[in-house]
Amino acid sequence: MVQVAAGYRELSSIAAALVCARVRVKQDLVLGLPAGRTPLGLYSQLVNLYRAGLVDFSGVTTFNLDEYYPVPPQDPRSFYAFTRRHFLDHVNVPANRAHAPAATHPHPAEACAAYELEIVRAGGLDLVILGIGQNGHIGFNEPGTAFDSRTRLVELAEHTVRVNFGRAAAHAPRAALSMGIATIMEAAEVLLLASGRDKAPIVGRSLCGPVTPEVPASILQRHPLLTAVVDREAAAAMGNR
């Protein structure tokens, strides 16, 4: 299902309402969390709803989608620090149930296998929230990623490093640990968020174009329970296919 919001605020409200509804139905919800600018409005609305006593995260478990490698959690550039700063530090998800890939582990393959196991032990992902990269990446699954991929060490596309770090790109991490496409697709439900005209071409290709590894997000068309919430600007190329 695609929901077109008038703007970013409405997009964030629709997303927050969906997340709260799922937490109310299943108190021990297992949630996949993205970093990036797009979910900031959602996180801030969830914090407000929590502060107003309208949602309780005490039974919730979270798994961050991805993490730069090798970047320690205390590094302000880490996605762990990001999700803490914007969401987890302000709500009552128990600290021992807020997971992130171990991006300083000397053996990334082991860290990734352990992460997959933790997800299974938690009962599997109930709801994964996703942003989308301008090249169609979800998590850090860059174009060309196999649809059967699982959590693993990935090399970042040059374009992604430039978009995410701008002028600091020269000193930015070039790799990450990311949930795979299969890990994401096994979630019971997916909530995809996209905002702004920069995302319009890739939203059109992902939701209305052919399903191909060249556009990683296109696989979401095959997810049995996908809600895509896009604002009008991001939806602009959806009719042109």
**Residues catalogued as catalytic:** 66, 135, 137, 142
Nearest approach, Cβ of residue 53 and ligand GLP (Å): 29
How far apart are CB 11 and ligand GLP at their closest, in Å?
12
The SS3 assignment for 237 reads coil
Residues that bind ligand GLP (CB under 6 A): 34-38, 65-66, 131-133, 139-140, 160, 164
**What is the radius of gyration, based on Cα positions, of the chain?**
17
Cβ 34 to ligand GLP, closest distance in Å? 4
CB of 130 to ligand GLP, least distance (A): 6
Distance of closest approach, residue 104 Cβ to ligand GLP, in angstroms = 18
Q: How many helices (H) and strands (E) does the chain have?
A: 7, 10
Beta strand spans in the chain (E): 2-5, 30-33, 61-64, 66-69, 98-99, 127-130, 152-155, 175-178, 189-194, 226-231
The answer to whether residues 194 and 154 touch, using CB atoms and an 8 Å cutoff, is no
Whether the link from the prior residue into 73 is cis, omega within 30° of 0, is: no
If the CB atoms of residues 55 and 191 are measured against ligand GLP, the closer one turns out to be 191
Closest CA to 220 of 201, 179, 192: 192
Q: Which is nearer to ligand GLP, 28 or 158 (CB)?
A: 158
**Closer to ligand GLP at the Cβ: 35 or 47?**
35
Q: Which is nearer to ligand GLP, 2 or 59 (CB)?
A: 2
CB 67 within 8 A of CB 105: no
- CA distances in angstroms from 158 to 38, 132, 142, 206, 229, listed in the order given: 21, 16, 10, 20, 27
Please identify, using beta-carbon distances, which residue of 4 and 59 lies nearer to ligand GLP: 4
> Which residue is closest to ligand GLP by CB?
131
